Every structure is written in C-alpha cells, then in structure tokens.
Amino acid sequence: MASALDMSLDEIIAKEHAGSGGKSRNRGSYRGRAATAPYDNKAKTCNNCGVLGHLAGQCPEPPQCHACGSTAHAVAECPHREKACATCGKVGHLKAKCRQQARSVEKHVQKTVLPAAPARKANPVAGKTCNNCGVLGHLAGQCPEPPQCHACGSTAHAVAECPHREKACAICGKTGHLKAKCRQAQR
C-alpha cells in the first residue's frame, strides 16, 4: 500500500471515492451538529493506517495498535507502549505511528490545496481556558508556559510518569489530579 506521503491529494480523493461506491463516507454529524463541509476529512490522516483522506472510524484496514502499529493487540497490551518515539521523543508510540509528520502534511494540504473553510468566530478560543497554565484566551497547544503535568502541575514530568497520579484530589475526591489542577476549583 502506498504511503499517504507518496500519493497526491487527487489520488487519495479518487481512491476514497472509488472505495465508497461514489457515496459520501462522512458520517454527517458530531455531537448533534451537521458536518460543516464536504471536504472536512480530505486533509486528515487516518490514525489507524496513516493514509491521508479519511479518519480511523472510516478506515477499511483492520484496527492497529496506536503505539506500534501491530494488529495483534491493542495499545493497552502493547509491549512498546513505554518506549520513546525516535521522531518526536514522546513516550507512548513508536516512529511508525508518530503523528508529527502527518500533522505537517495535513497543515500543508489545508493551506495549499483545499478551499478555505467557512468563516468562524474571530477568536474561537477567547472564552477558553488553557489546560496547561489555566489562563483564558489560548489553548495548551499555544501556551507560552512550559508543558505541565496534568495531574500535579510539575514541569519535570508528563502525567504518564506522575508519582501523584493515583492520589485523590482534596477538592473533588477524584484520582488523576491534585487540587492545583482541579477543574471544580476553577468554577
């Protein structure tokens, strides 16, 4: 199977259209809202097979482990789950399943090939709170602060390696975060 990087967008769209019998494979809604445009998934890379043009829910390939790509097990049972990726350095997947390169291809296709999406709000994140620093007006992906553990707030480790992950929050009593990161305290 040719890689999404070796295929043109026209080839991917033609292959997707042929595989669907000419019918749209768009499931039509997300949380009760109608899909905004017929090209929504054309610049998206499948998290299952890595091909540009469809999402994992519409993938014709058998389900793969999101950490290593094997079809023999799910990510929860993956023996490679704790290894670091050679491409991005993050723990939880190997180079074969790294999304870093796929995201750059998606952005390139969205900017150069696809027509502009319908206009949205001038600042779609104006009322949103950053999950990293807790400040209104931006999201964690654009946060100027160093990445913090979502459980305890430390910048020394990610949530997967957090020594406090199993402790209960003093505010809500749930595990997975401490009071410094409790969303109930922010209300």
Domain boundaries, the chain: 9-112, 121-187
Q: Tokens in use for 30?
A: 């997300």
Range with the largest mean pLDDT of 29-43, 53-67, 114-128: 53-67
Q: What confidence tens digit (pLDDT) does each residue in 41-73 have? A: 566 778 778 787 888 888 888 888 878 888 898
Helix, strand and coil in the chain, % to nearest 5 = 25, 5, 70
Could you give the CA distance from residue 44 to residue 41 in angstroms, rounded to a whole number?
5
Q: What confidence tens digit (pLDDT) does each residue in 147-176 have? A: 888 888 888 988 888 888 888 888 888 888
Could you give the CA distance from residue 8 to residue 16 in angstroms, rounded to a whole number?
12
Return the CATH class of domain 121-187: few secondary structures
Give the closest residue to 28 by CA, choosing from 17, 43, 18, 38: 38
Could you give the CA distance from residue 121 to residue 143 in angstroms, rounded to a whole number?
20
**Residue 30, SS3 per DSSP:** strand
Q: How confident is the model at residue 82 (pLDDT cuts 50, 70, 90)?
A: confident
Give the closest residue to 52 by CA, choosing from 17, 12, 18: 12
Backbone φ, ψ for residue 132 (5° rounding): -95, -55
| Predicted local distance difference test score (pLDDT) of residue 31 | 39
Could you give the CA distance from residue 170 to residue 50 in angstroms, rounded to a whole number?
42
CA 103, 106, 111, 117 torsion: positive or negative?
Answer: negative
**Residue 183, SS3 per DSSP:** helix
Mean pLDDT of 132-155: 84
Q: Which residue is listed with tokens 């809202």? A: 33
